Structure 1
Amino acid sequence: MYHATQSQALHYKRVEMLFAAAMLLFPSVLLGGVAGEDLPLFKAANLGGWLVVEGWMTPSLFDAIPNNDLLDGTQVHIKSVRLNKYICAENGGGSALMANRDIPKTWETFRLWRINATTFNFRVSNKDFVGFSTQGRGVKLVARDDEPGTNGTFNIIRNSDDPLRVRIQASNGLFLQAEAESAVTADYSGNLDQWEDQDPSVFEMHIVKSLQGEYQLTNGYGYDEASKIMMNHWNTYIVEDDFRFMRQNGLNAVRIPVGWWIMYDPMPPQPFVPGSLLALDNAFKWALNNNMKVILDLHAAPGSQNGKHHSGSRDGFIEWGDSKILETVAVIDFLARRYGAHPSLGAIELMNEPLAPGVTLDSLREYYTAGYEAVREYNPTVYVILSNRLGEADSAELLSFAARLKYSVIDVHYYNRYSDYFKGLNGQQNAEYVYKKRSKQLQEITRKKGPLIFVGEWTAALYNDNASMEDYKKFAKAQLDVFGKATFGWAYWSYKCDQNYWSFKWMIENNYMKLG
């Protein structure tokens, strides 16, 4: 059990005094319980796309990357033109590659690890890497390496007249070919000037899915260029005037997504570049200057907790689990140690959007326990936020666990977007859903003596291309009404975004939304 030293006890006393002062500014929370009929503690905006890049929010950041449709994590299907068959890693990996599939599915999907604009490793569905083997007859491609090997580097050469058509050069200098369905080999040295249908070295490469996160951006540009681009982005995307704007328009907090690599700044592991920590320091200063609170949110955990671009994933696989717990706790410890006594710190969120079933409940509880204790070493009263799992998970699965943790909060994300149910619904229909369904969902997880509830992400963007201004206003008002009853408050996604209806700033400036 942890015991405070005399100096730490004095530190705690100072923190408690700062917290008491903060409660004069934010009187609506009842510690260790529910805020009842009071207004929420937090009316916040997420500073998404700032310290953790998301390409859909700032697509122009990716424009100058060469071959920017082939970034890390791009999923491709590769079809032999001659055989009219897709290449497949049999059993998802662990054996030879064949060219024998009519319809591409999971085993026929290859994920790229980018080395430079034209050179890549290929990863298959069981997470093995593709290489070639000279054992036996021929130079056959196999997928059975845990890490990219010396035989696992491939150069993709596109046909300038038809970008779908490619040749793939192996590290032995020869090209892949599929002469028969039973094997793909790296031994073609024929005529490379022609791209005829009967040429066994000609393939079609179809892009199925891509990622545009910070890993993709920094690795796509390379260290030197990425350093310049990211520094300019951090210095201009969010500035102190934005904090003034938020405060003047009814917000009292920001939720700031950060990536795990921030703890290593100014020497983060490649391909990440330094500078985000200084930007975060500035955010705390601006929050203090404008009488606002900061919710720190570990948005990207080591190994990726959900496979999304905003989780720092390289290739979309979920690799967060028991083996990553200590590493992730170290990030929380770093953040709590650096900002734990700062008067603007409002809460620390231990992890954003872990995805079930890839992240197990047992692993998550173990991590949340350790992360909570790490925060408590530096601040005994700051709120600790536990994010609900997305996907195949019960929305109440953390309530009894969190109820045992003092000053704990459950974060839920409510989007009327990611289901065909919402497609085409107008503003009134979405508003009715919020008033009925979302209100009921909030009531079901708001328990007496339970953790506080935080709607950490929502948007007024409709899943309807023909919506009117009145539609957006009705939808926004409904969410402000309902989420305003969340016992810890809410945070709009996001403060700024290239897509207007996702931007709090744009919605306010254009009179789509107004806070009371």
Structure 2
Amino acid sequence: MKLSSLVGSTISGLLLVLVLALMAVEALPPSPASSESKSALSVSTPVAMASAAVSDTGLENESDNTPIRGANIGGVFLIEPFIKPSLFDQFLSRDKADIPVDEWTFSAALGKVEAKRQLEEHWDTFVTRDHLETMAESGVNWIRIPIGYWAFNLTDDEPYVDGQLPYIQRVLEWSRDIGLKVELDLHGAPGSQNGYDNSGRRGVPEWLHSRINVDRTLDALTKMTKIAVEWSDVVYGIQILNEPSRWKWEVKDIFAFYNEAYDLVRSIAPDVWFMIHDTFLSPNEWPTLVAPRWTQALMDTHIYQMFDNYMVTMNETTHIDMVAKMAEDVTKFDKSNIGVVVGEFSAATHDCTKYINGLGRGSRWEGTLEGVADHPLCPFATCSCTGDYGSNYTEYSEHYKSFLRSYIDAQLAIYDQELAGWFFWNFRTEGAPEWDYILGVEQGWIPSFPRTAMPKIEESSVVVFDDAQTTHATTSNAGESQYQFIKSTRGIAVNLGMAVAIAYSMLLPF
């Protein structure tokens, strides 16, 4: 046998072994994260896939498996007392019955001229380009902008004032420049869809009692969707209505509105993400809110642990454990139906925050919440809204700040890696530290993400946050070891293959 034939046979055998080795490596079972989760390691989120289809968003180095990482621009174009108490504290010298508690009564108390003057100053200053840039630097890639219907559809007999649209468009311009995607959220409907101050009008909701209210809601939604079309390179999602109350309305009637709104939005913007709220139903009931014919749809759920008499009495460990329990059915729905976005969550586990339950209503923590708690509800022998549970974050203990970080980490481990993404509530506040995203990042209990997508499996299996000594593991230890083995074996195989190929080519006749 000639030497070249012998070498050729040997190399052919080596190549066969190499191929078999690579096949064996590829056949290894996937790590737990890549087989079970919708993490950025292996599965593209619905929103991420849409992002990949549009190349002019301005976001740098984002791939098709970057989840929504967002913050709400709440309390700006629909004011809430707890976000900016100073707007409402100007009335505290009045009799209790005359103190405004929402935007409706705020505007009525001041009159349209003065209300517009104060609100224009608020719109102009409370959210700035610097705020958006700061959040983008920490890894935020989306913002959610809550808007009241009166920005689009206002009657003379309503005390609200309009004029928000130029300021909203300015935020869209900033977002375009910075590279942020935007969800426009109809946060308040005519008659109020839930009776909360976050709808613009606290009290008895009247929204679905009148077809006129529904038609006005759809009119506002039409105008909001047209903005999405005009700013199609910036606005990627439309939330048709925030938190309509299942306790007030029949679920079938809410679904009927959702279906009607879907047809309207799709007639104007065929490709924008159509986002609905879960109406406070449990996840196993969410399919009743979704039509199979819908495309590009996402479920918005809001997950909090302080608006419940039992949860505010839980200790810190239980709060962290509760995160996974509350999200278990949510992730199941996300995997079996439309994707899920946690549109609101925070670092708070108590209701001490000023006006968080509504202006003048007190707290469960100290037993002063009217009609709910006649004695303190907290995990301690005595309850006080001071120190760790007060409004001055400089008084927080190191232990409490460590807990806040662990609590946020527990939430993001699921919302960021198992679901389509998240929006923290809120981007900033006037004196509610656990609800303030920018402050939380600055103080270290909210992690910064890299500006790019989460690392893929061939790059890294953990994400290290710049502002912490800990890491978010995206696979188990076993998965990490397996990944490292696969990576090493692939490297050896590739290098061996190159060497064999070079040697073989040297023996070939030319």
**For the superposition of Structure 1 and Structure 2, which TM-score range results when normalised by the shorter chain?**
0.5 to 0.7
Q: Assess, with a 3 A threshold, how the Cα gap between structure 1 residues 66 and 445 changes in structure 2: closer, same or farther.
A: same
Contact 1:44–1:254 under 8 Å retained in 2: yes
Question: Partner of 1:496: helix, strand, or coil?
Answer: coil
Contact 1:261–1:268 under 8 Å retained in 2: no
Equivalent position of 1:474 in the other structure: 406
| Alignment gaps of 5+ in structure 2 | 1-49, 351-377, 379-384, 390-399, 450-510
Equivalent position of 1:456 in the other structure: 343
Distance in 2, Cα, partners of 1:339 & 1:404 = 22
Question: Partner of 2:310: helix, strand, or coil?
Answer: helix
Distance in 1, Cα, partners of 2:317 & 2:265 = 43
The reply on whether 1:397 has 2:288 as its aligned counterpart is no
Question: Partner of 1:446: helix, strand, or coil?
Answer: helix
Structure 1 counterpart of 2:306, from 417, 423, 441: 417
Structure 1 residues 21-56: Cα deviation after superposition (integer angstroms, max 9, x where no partner): 258959766xxxxxxxx442x110011111101012
Instruction: Show the 5 A alignment for 1:469-508.
Output: 469-497=401-429, 498-508=431-441
Structure 1 residues 388-418: Cα deviation after superposition (integer angstroms, max 9, x where no partner): 112xx34343436244200001111100111
Equivalent position of 1:291 in the other structure: 179
Distance in 2, Cα, partners of 1:315 & 1:424 = 27
Q: Assess, with a 3 A threshold, how the Cα gap between structure 1 residues 27 and 377 changes in structure 2: closer, same or farther.
A: farther
Equivalent position of 1:511 in the other structure: 444
Contact 2:58–2:178 under 8 Å retained in 1: no
Contact 2:207–2:214 under 8 Å retained in 1: no
Q: Give, in angstroms, the shift of residue 488 of structure 1.
A: 2.1
Structure 1 counterpart of 2:247, from 324, 348, 357: 357
Instruction: Show the 5 A alignment for 1:241-260.
Output: 241-260=130-149
Contact 1:336–1:374 under 8 Å retained in 2: no
Equivalent position of 2:113 in the other structure: 224
Q: Give, in angstroms, the shift of residue 19 of structure 1.
A: 5.5
Equivalent position of 1:55 in the other structure: 81
Distance in 2, Cα, partners of 1:282 & 1:18 = 25
Structure 1 residues 310-342: Cα deviation after superposition (integer angstroms, max 9, x where no partner): 112254434434623222111110111122241
Distance in 1, Cα, partners of 2:83 & 2:407 = 21
Contact 1:403–1:451 under 8 Å retained in 2: no
The reply on whether 1:271 has 2:159 as its aligned counterpart is yes
Contact 2:88–2:100 under 8 Å retained in 1: no
Structure 1 residues 136-155: Cα deviation after superposition (integer angstroms, max 9, x where no partner): xxxxxxxxxxxxxxxxxxxx
Counterpart amino acid of 1:383?
W
| Alignment gaps of 5+ in structure 1 | 1-15, 30-37, 75-116, 118-209
Between Structure 1 and Structure 2, how many residues are aligned? 350
Distance in 1, Cα, partners of 2:90 & 2:51 = 50
TM-score (normalised: structure 2): 0.64
Contact 2:205–2:248 under 8 Å retained in 1: no
TM-score (normalised: structure 1): 0.63
Q: Give, in angstroms, the shift of residue 365 of structure 1.
A: 1.4
Instruction: Show the 5 A alignment for 1:16-165.
Output: 20-21=54-55, 38-40=65-67, 42-65=68-91, 68-70=94-96
Equivalent position of 1:240 in the other structure: 129
Q: Give, in angstroms, the shift of residue 369 of structure 1.
A: 1.4
Question: Partner of 1:412: helix, strand, or coil?
Answer: strand
Instruction: Show the 5 A alignment for 1:160-179.
Output: none
Structure with greater proportional strand content: 1
Contact 1:428–1:475 under 8 Å retained in 2: no
Question: Partner of 2:403: helix, strand, or coil?
Answer: helix
Q: Give, in angstroms, the shift of residue 66 of structure 1.
A: 7.3
Structure 1 residues 148-169: Cα deviation after superposition (integer angstroms, max 9, x where no partner): xxxxxxxxxxxxxxxxxxxxxx
Q: Assess, with a 3 A threshold, how the Cα gap between structure 1 residues 262 and 269 changes in structure 2: closer, same or farther.
A: farther
Equivalent position of 2:297 in the other structure: 408
Question: Partner of 2:106: helix, strand, or coil?
Answer: helix
Q: Does 337-346 or 378-387 show the bigger shift?
A: 337-346
Q: Give, in angstroms, the shift of residue 511 of structure 1.
A: 1.4
Contact 1:39–1:485 under 8 Å retained in 2: no
| Aligned-residue CA RMSD (Å) | 2.6
Instruction: Show the 5 A alignment for 1:420-431.
Output: 420-431=309-320
Contact 2:208–2:249 under 8 Å retained in 1: yes
Contact 1:402–1:408 under 8 Å retained in 2: no
Q: Assess, with a 3 A threshold, how the Cα gap between structure 1 residues 372 and 314 changes in structure 2: closer, same or farther.
A: same
Question: Partner of 2:147: helix, strand, or coil?
Answer: strand
Contact 1:426–1:471 under 8 Å retained in 2: no
Distance in 2, Cα, partners of 1:19 & 1:377 = 21
Structure 1 counterpart of 2:220, from 317, 322, 331: 331
Distance in 2, Cα, partners of 1:417 & 1:378 = 39
Equivalent position of 1:438 in the other structure: 326
Distance in 2, Cα, partners of 1:18 & 1:472 = 34
Equivalent position of 1:172 in the other structure: none
Contact 2:57–2:179 under 8 Å retained in 1: no
Q: Give, in angstroms, the shift of residue 62 of structure 1.
A: 1.5
Counterpart amino acid of 2:279?
R
The reply on whether 1:261 has 2:193 as its aligned counterpart is no
Contact 1:455–1:486 under 8 Å retained in 2: no
Equivalent position of 1:348 in the other structure: 238
